[in-house]
């Protein structure tokens, strides 16, 4: 009689708790990994260890760290930034991961996404373009061989993993410089790409390691596969699109190379005021079972802190002063919900039942009942639309989007977790940040309207002043909640980003008024 009174959803939750996710899948991925991006939002070492322990408890056995400028290269001291770890810290982290049975794989980009290296004059000859510093010129073979032999050698010495991830994705400047353009006209882009990647792979293999490589460019130019040693492992990153997005997926499958997959918990168009929760859940739900059926040997959850695209600021003329990431996202501290969805999905061959998982997670971690969990989930994923140049990329108006964000924020604030209150407070901060951002967008659109008159300035200025005060209060909460994980200067930059456009508009409208 009791079961008859339960809703279908309640029965599913009951089964989830007692059977489904307690069983290990018979077709488990040998490599179960998490990708930690340290390009921005650099985590303090104790926080990384705390994350590693959580990942281990969830069944993760592999950690890929994209150190970028946080690795302290002795042979190339210009590369490290102010957040770089010490050699002792790296050694200690590797030992800690080994103790837990987690394989720490270093990721060193070796083709594209190397702005942080090429920005320095020492490496100027290796730039594919003197303005866009994202990519090394594959025609500078000797310089590239020397540089990456140095970097890979240091990584090999400090990491016990048998793998080194060499990056290789999003090489958008292939064939750009005159020398490379001539090579492409003669032999094609696939050979240009393949020969450079082969050079990088040969360095790694000579060091006794196995090269790991993102798969997007090989999918786009499958003829490049013939140049690569068979030890290479490809990572097919798929964040919710068809298998043939980058190219003929069947050719990669028939290539004979070992393949891992990669889903994502933060990726474009996520930013500090928008997270596409539904998209990421569906990505985990759909891609893991598909990759398992295809026989992939590993599955990674990537977590991108930025798009990897940078805007240069020149001091004068062409003299570079700094590079700024174009897109920042909300910190990793807010994404335990998605991390757990991923680790649970690794343990079963069945596709993730998103709503059932969310209800169970909210019950275990926040003490919410089923109704509260559903209310929370609906508020979290509501109206995930971008605003570009004052226009909503979606089926609703900007006013409706602001109203939706206000309702979501009110709902999330109204729910009172019984435990893990700091974790839940991240959702409140995200909701408030989004509402404040959209409120600004609405005010900016108002003053940009052709029929806006000076008579409306007083009200707009008042609304902007109120918004500035609200954002400053949010910034204080943001700093308090994240100060143990991230460095003060990075938190200050996040806080400034929330304020800068609002302050500029307020100052502009206040000038001589």
pLDDT tens digits for range 33-64: 999 999 999 999 999 999 999 999 999 999 99
On the CB side of 217, CA atoms within 13 Å amount to: 23
d(CA 485, CA 285): 29
Strands 103-107 and 62-66: parallel
Phi, then psi, of 32 in degrees rounded to 5: -120, 105
> If residue 392 lies in a helix (H) or strand (E), which one and from where to where?
strand 391-392
Q: Let me know whether 305 and 428 are in one domain.
A: no
Among 345, 373, 400, the domain boundary falls at: 345
Strands 298-303 and 31-37: parallel
Q: Let me know whether 208 and 88 are in one domain.
A: yes
What is the predicted pLDDT for the residue at 26?
56
Q: Let me know whether 423 and 318 are in one domain.
A: no
Within 45-188, where are the H helices? 45-57, 87-100, 115-118, 141-158, 178-187
Q: Let me know whether 153 and 285 are in one domain.
A: yes
What is the predicted pLDDT for the residue at 326?
87
Q: Let me know whether 279 and 386 are in one domain.
A: no
Tokens of 426: 């991240």
Within 265-326, where are the H helices? 277-294
Q: What is the pLDDT of residues 285-327, one digit of tens each?
A: 999 999 999 999 999 999 999 988 898 888 887 789 989 888 8
Q: Over 70: is that where the pLDDT of 12 sits?
A: no
Q: Over 70: is that where the pLDDT of 251 sits?
A: yes
d(CA 161, CA 104): 6
Residue 277 lies in a domain: yes
Q: What is the pLDDT of residues 398-424, one digit of tens each?
A: 999 999 999 999 999 999 999 999 999
Bridge partners of 35? 64
Q: Over 50: is that where the pLDDT of 22 sits?
A: no
d(CA 452, CA 455): 8
What is the predicted pLDDT for the residue at 512?
57
Residue 371 lies in a domain: no
Average pLDDT, the chain: 94
Among 345, 364, 391, the domain boundary falls at: 345
Q: Let me know whether 463 and 335 are in one domain.
A: no
Whether the Cβ atoms of residue 216 and residue 249 lie closer than 8 Å to each other: no
Domain holding 234: CATH number? Answer: 3.20.20.80
Q: Let me know whether 410 and 312 are in one domain.
A: no
Phi, then psi, of 310 in degrees rounded to 5: -120, 150
Residue 480 lies in a domain: yes
User: Nearest to residue 199, comparing CAs of 156, 162, 237, 152?
Assistant: 152
What is the band of 19 on the pLDDT scale with cuts at 50, 70, 90?
A: very low
Q: What is the pLDDT of residues 75-97, one digit of tens each?
A: 999 999 999 999 999 999 999 99
Q: Let me know whether 444 and 321 are in one domain.
A: no
What is the predicted pLDDT for the residue at 316?
81
Q: Over 80: is that where the pLDDT of 172 sits?
A: yes
Mean pLDDT of 334-340: 98
What is the predicted pLDDT for the residue at 77?
97
- Count Cβ atoms within 10 A of the Cβ of residue 25 and give its class: 0-12 exposed, 13-18 middle, 19 or more buried: middle
Tokens of 469: 């005060």
Scanning the structure block, which residue is given the tokens 């039942």? 353
What is the predicted pLDDT for the residue at 318?
78
Phi, then psi, of 254 in degrees rounded to 5: -90, 0
Q: Which DSSP letter does residue 44 get? A: P
Q: Over 50: is that where the pLDDT of 202 sits?
A: yes
For the chain, how many structural domains are there in total?
Answer: 2
> If residue 458 lies in a helix (H) or strand (E), which one and from where to where?
helix 457-482
Whether the Cβ atoms of residue 441 and residue 398 lie closer than 8 Å to each other: yes
Q: What range defines the domain where residue 460 resides?
A: 382-510
Scanning the structure block, which residue is given the tokens 């070992």? 258
What is the predicted pLDDT for the residue at 6?
45
Q: Let me know whether 56 and 176 are in one domain.
A: yes
Residue 366 lies in a domain: no
Mean pLDDT of 437-451: 96
**Global pTM value:** 0.94
d(CA 461, CA 481): 30
Q: Among 18-32, 186-200, 248-262, 455-469, which stretch is predicted with the lowest mean pLDDT?
A: 18-32
What is the predicted pLDDT for the residue at 409?
98
Q: What is the pLDDT of residues 106-141, one digit of tens each?
A: 999 999 999 999 999 999 999 999 999 999 999 999
Q: Pick 23 or 125 by higher pLDDT.
A: 125
What is the predicted pLDDT for the residue at 10?
54
Q: Let me know whether 439 and 339 are in one domain.
A: no
User: Nearest to residue 201, comparing CAs of 213, 188, 211?
Assistant: 211
Q: Indicate if the alpha-carbon torsion angle 168, 173, 177, 183 is positive or negative.
A: positive
Q: CA 282, 284, 288 angle in degrees (round to 5)?
A: 125
Q: Over 80: is that where the pLDDT of 158 sits?
A: yes
Q: What is the pLDDT of residues 369-398, one digit of tens each?
A: 999 999 999 999 999 999 999 999 999 999
User: Nearest to residue 349, comparing CAs of 30, 26, 58?
Assistant: 26
Q: Let me know whether 328 and 456 are in one domain.
A: no
């Amino acid at each position: 009689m009791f079961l008859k009174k339960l809703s279908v959803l309640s029965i599913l939750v009951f089964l989830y708790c007692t059977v489904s996710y307690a069983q290990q899948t018979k077709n488990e991925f040998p490599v179960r990994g998490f990708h930690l991006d340290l390009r921005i939002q650099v985590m303090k070492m104790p926080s990384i260890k705390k994350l590693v322990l959580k990942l281990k408890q969830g069944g993760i056995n592999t950690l890929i760290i994209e150190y970028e400028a946080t690795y302290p290269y002795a042979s190339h001291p210009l590369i490290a930034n102010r957040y770089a770890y010490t050699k002792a810290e790296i050694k200690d982290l590797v030992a800690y991961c080994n103790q837990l049975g987690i394989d720490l794989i270093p990721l060193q980009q070796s083709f594209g996404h190397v702005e942080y290296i090429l920005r320095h004059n020492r490496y100027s000859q290796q730039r594919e373009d003197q303005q866009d510093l994202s990519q090394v010129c594959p025609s500078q073979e000797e310089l590239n061989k020397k540089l990456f032999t140095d970097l890979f050698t240091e990584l090999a010495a400090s990491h016990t993993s048998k793998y080194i991830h060499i990056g290789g994705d999003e090489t958008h400047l292939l064939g750009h410089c005159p020398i490379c353009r001539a090579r492409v006209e003669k032999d094609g882009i696939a050979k240009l790409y393949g020969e450079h990647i082969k050079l990088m792979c040969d360095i790694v293999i000579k060091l006794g390691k196995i090269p790991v490589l993102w798969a997007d460019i090989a999918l786009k130019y499958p003829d490049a596969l013939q140049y690569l040693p068979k030890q290479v492992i490809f990572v097919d990153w798929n964040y919710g699109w068809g298998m043939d997005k980058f190219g003929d997926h069947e050719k990669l499958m028939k290539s004979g190379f070992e393949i891992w997959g990669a889903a994502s918990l933060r990726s474009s168009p996520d930013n500090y005021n928008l997270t596409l929760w539904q998209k990421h859940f569906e990505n985990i739900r759909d891609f893991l079972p598909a990759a398992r059926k295809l026989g992939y040997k590993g599955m990674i959850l990537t977590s991108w802190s930025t798009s990897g695209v940078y805007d240069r600021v020149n001091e004068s003329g062409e003299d570079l002063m700094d590079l700024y990431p174009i897109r920042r996202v909300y910190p990793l501290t807010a994404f335990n919900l998605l991390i757990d969805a991923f680790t649970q999905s690794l343990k079963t061959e069945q596709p993730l039942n998103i709503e059932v998982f969310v209800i169970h997670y909210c019950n275990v971690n926040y003490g919410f009942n089923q109704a509260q969990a559903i209310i929370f989930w609906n508020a979290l994923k509501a109206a995930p639309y971008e605003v570009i140049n004052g226009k909503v990329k979606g089926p609703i108006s900007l006013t409706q989007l602001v109203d939706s964000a206000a309702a979501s924020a009110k709902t999330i604030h109204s729910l009172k977790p019984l435990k893990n209150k700091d974790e839940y407070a991240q959702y409140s901060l995200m909701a408030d940040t989004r509402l404040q951002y959209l409120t600004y967008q609405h005010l900016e659109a108002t003053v940009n309207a052709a029929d806006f008159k000076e008579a409306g300035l007083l009200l707009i200025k008042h609304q902007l002043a109120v918004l500035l005060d609200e954002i400053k209060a949010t910034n204080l909460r943001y700093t308090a909640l994240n100060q143990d994980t991230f460095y003060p200067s990075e938190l200050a930059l996040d806080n400034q980003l929330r304020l800068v456009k609002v302050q500029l508009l307020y100052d502009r409208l206040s000038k001589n008024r």
